[in-house]
Amino acid sequence: WGDGRVYRGAWVQSKCTGFGVLTHADGRRYEGYYLRDKMHGHGVYQWADGRKYNGEYKNNLKHGQGVWTWPDGVMLEGQWADNLPCRHACTIMFSSYVSTQDVQPRIGLDSDATLQKLWEDAHAWRIEHGVVHVPPSRPGAEDTPNP
Domain boundaries of the chain, sorted by first residue = 1-48, 66-141
Share of the chain above pLDDT 90, in %: 41
The answer on pLDDT for 105 being more than 50 is: no
CA 79/CA 97 separation, integer angstroms: 19
Question: Worst-scoring range by mean pLDDT, 1-5, 59-63, 90-94, 118-122?
Answer: 118-122
The answer to whether 56 touches 80, Cβ cutoff 8 Å, is yes
The per-residue pLDDT for 138 is: 36
The per-residue pLDDT for 14 is: 94
Mean pLDDT, range 97-105, rounded to an integer:
45
The answer to whether 115 touches 94, Cβ cutoff 8 Å, is no
The answer on pLDDT for 108 being more than 50 is: no
Mean pLDDT, range 3-32, rounded to an integer:
96
Mean pLDDT, range 26-48, rounded to an integer:
97
- In our burial notation (b when 16+ CB lie closer than 10 A, e otherwise), range 23-32 reads beeeeebbbb
The answer on pLDDT for 65 being more than 80 is: yes
The per-residue pLDDT for 94 is: 57
